[in-house]
Each structure stands twice: as structure tokens, then as C-alpha cells.
Amino acid sequence: MKRLLKCILILPLGWLLAIETVAAKESPPTVSPYIYKQLNQAQQKIDSGAPEQALLILDKIIRQQRSSTYEKALAQQTSGLLYYQQQQIAEAIKRFTLAVNSDALPLQAAQQTRFNLAQLYLSEQQYDAAIKTINQWLALSEKPTGEVYLLLASGYSADHQYQAAIKPAELAIKLLNSPTESHYRFLLGLYFETENYDLATTLLEQLILKFPSHKEYWLQLASLYSQKHRDKDSLVITEMAYQKGLLNRDDEIVRLTQLLLHLQYPHKAARILEQEMAAGTVKSSQQNQELLATAWFNAREYQKALIPLKSAARKSTDGTLYLRLAQAQFELEQFQDAISSLNQALSKGDLKHPDTAHLLNGIAHYQLGKFKQAINEFQKASQFDRSRDQAKQWVNYLNQKQNSS
């Protein structure tokens, strides 16, 4: 709000110049020589840094019966500016209101006063009055400006009327000669507040082109794509942000890795995660080690999966990761190591399917020619419904093999 009010009250205090400018365009009522002389004296006091004395002269004009309605309105308008300069906002509002309500000011001067008055209402959090005043301005204007629409949108937004703020905010950006990033961000905020995610998506697609170095827009757009189940578009945007060097936080790299894994790009996910862990951008936590291991495992790079799997498995509170480590070792035909990992998995426990560990343990012992130990593991696996048939087949096969030898 403060940024919007920074250029408040652009009507000059040099009201004599203002009179001449307006007169040339609108032919306002004339000022009598007597009042003109008093106004000139007030201007001199203003120029010499004596606003209090200027106000005394202006108040005299307002009280005088010989002053016309126009002359009084002119004095009210000028005194409003002086009160604003002295930070007496309530009195400035009162004087501007009297000037406008007199209906004596030429249209241009009255419109400028309404604009100033609306800004003051906003600064005082009198949002209803601000909105009403701006709408009066718009009703009398043949060619509204972007600044006025922006002011109206700010009033609605400050009053939490976000939906009502959208149209004037859009018109403001359309009419402003050079809308700034803050104007776009204001409109984007309105879209999010009102859950207009389609409009937010379209605007963000424009913002990443206008302001490509701002990470926030890339991540917001990727998130919106993800919400719409446009996962491939989300990945493209996230990868582009990464390639531009915008992703420099642990959670951002992890999010990219997870998205790559989700869309079946495990090798790329593993390379990026391993590189960023080595660079220190991503922490070497148990969770991240597990993610790296999963990426290498899914990429069928079992040898590369071993180190992160061992690291994560040692820190894990259950045996799940030791079971996955055993599966990687099994693929590499490291059967003795697999047996050790399977024993660790069973020892730590809390396995979703402990029968799988017993089956693999049995097969690993079989590969090493240890039939007795293999049968023992298969018998343990046969105690579970889901593995009973397979385990019994192995037991029967090994018994026949031993009897025939």
C-alpha cells in the first residue's frame, strides 16, 4: 500500500498556475481581483515557508460572504494540500471533500482532487470511502487511466474484496505505459487469493519470459502444472530452472529428483542428486541417501546403488533398506553379501513382507551350494500364505536333488 501511495497528491501547490491551465482548457468561473489578490498573498506565504499564515488567508476567503462558491472551493482545495503537507490527514480529507462536493471546481481540478482524496482514504484505511470516490472519478471520466484502475484495485484488495479487484487490476496493467513487476505480482496475488489458477498459470507463463531470473515464478508455475496433473510440463519448467542455476536449495533439488523418478527418468535423477550431494547443495541425510539409492536401483545401476543403500540402511530403524540392498547384491551375484544383508533385514524387522527376505535368503544359499540352510529358509517362507506354494516347490526340489545325489 505504501508503494501505491508514494506519488500521492500530484496537484501542484502553485494554484495560480493550475487556474491558468484549467482556464485554458475548461473556461472555469473567474476569480475576482479582490480574491485573486488574497490568493496571491497565500501563495507567497507558501513559497516563503509559512503555511500556517497561508491557511489563515485561505480560511478568510472561505468565511467571506463576498467569496463565490468557486473561490471558496479553490481555497478549500489549496488548504487541503497544505494540511496534507503538514500530515494533518483528517483535515486534508475534510477540505478536499468540501471542495469536491461544492460542484464548483472545473472537471479537471475536481477529478484531480477526487484522485488525491481517494489516496488519502486508502492511507487512512477508509476503504469504502476510497472505493466510492474512485468510482465517482470513473463515472465522470471519458478516458480512465491505468493509475486510477490500480488505485481502485488496491482499495478492493485492502478491503479483502479480491474478486472485485481483479478486473481493475487487469485494466491497470493494460493501460499503464510501463507496468512494473510489482503490478504483475499484485495481479498474480489476486489470482491466487481467489483460486483463479488458470489465470495464474497464464500470467506466470508470461512472467518467466519477462523476468527469467526470478526463481519464484518458475517454481510457482511448476507447482500449478503439477496440481493440474501436467507432470511433464512441471518437469520441463523445473529442469529449465535448474539449468539456469536458479535451484540452489536442498528441497528444490530433491523435488526435481523425485519428479524425474516419478516420470521414469531414474538415471538423470541419480546423476543430478549425486552431483548436488557432492557439491554440498543437498544434504547427505538418510532420506536423501535412500532417494539416491532408489534412483540408481531403478536405473539398474546396482553397483552404484550399493554405497548409498548401505549408508541409508545403517541409519534406518527397520530392515526395509537392508532388504533392498540384498536385492541389489543379488543382481550383482554377490550372494554371500546378500545373505548378510538379509540377516540384517530380518534382525531389524518391521518388514512389510518378511517372507520375501526368507525366499531370497534361501535362493542365495542355494546359489552357494548350501542346501541345508536354503531348505531351512524356504521352510520359514512357507509359513506365509503369499509364499507358501513357491517355498514348498523349492523345498521339494532341493530334497529331490539331495536324494538323487
Looking at residue 404, its pLDDT comes to 75
CB 186 within 8 Å of CB 157: yes
The predicted pLDDT at position 3 comes to 34
Model confidence, pTM: 0.79
Question: Domain 1-142 carries which CATH code?
Answer: 1.25.40.10
pLDDT at 364: 95
| Domain 316-405 of CATH type 3.40.630.30 | no
- Of 23, 27, 59, 57, the C-alpha closest to 40 is 57
The answer to whether the beta carbons of residues 270 and 296 sit under 8 Å apart is yes
pLDDT in tens, the chain (405 residues): 333 233 333 333 344 334 434 433 455 678 899 888 998 898 899 889 998 999 999 999 999 888 899 999 999 999 999 999 999 999 999 999 999 999 999 999 999 999 999 999 999 999 999 999 999 999 999 899 999 999 999 999 999 999 999 999 999 999 999 999 999 999 999 999 999 999 999 999 999 999 999 999 999 999 999 999 999 999 999 999 999 999 999 999 999 999 999 999 999 999 999 999 999 999 999 899 999 999 999 999 999 999 999 999 998 999 999 999 999 999 999 999 999 999 999 999 999 999 999 999 999 999 999 999 999 999 999 999 999 999 999 999 998 887 776
Domain residue extents for the chain: 1-142, 316-405
341, 343, 348, 352: CA torsion to nearest 10: 90
Name the percent of the chain lying above pLDDT 70: 93
- Residue 18: the pLDDT is 41
Residue 360, burial from CB neighbour count under 10 angstroms (0-12, 13-18, 19+): buried
CA distance 378 to 391: 5
Which pLDDT tens digit goes with each residue over 195-232?
A: 999 999 999 999 999 999 999 999 999 999 999 999 99
pLDDT in tens, 291-307: 999 999 999 999 999 99
The sign one gets for the Cα dihedral 13, 19, 24, 29 is positive
Are 1-142 and 316-405 the same fold in CATH? yes
Provide the residue type at 384 as one letter: F
Measured CA to CA, the distance from residue 48 to residue 16 in angstroms comes to: 16
Reference 222, options 277, 281, 183, 262; nearest CA is 262
- Contact (CB, 8 A) for 199 and 206: no
| Three-state DSSP state, 322 | helix
Q: How far is CA 330 from CA 241, 368, 390, in A?
A: 38, 12, 18
Q: What is the pLDDT of residue 402?
A: 79
| Residue 31 cell numbers, joined | 476569480
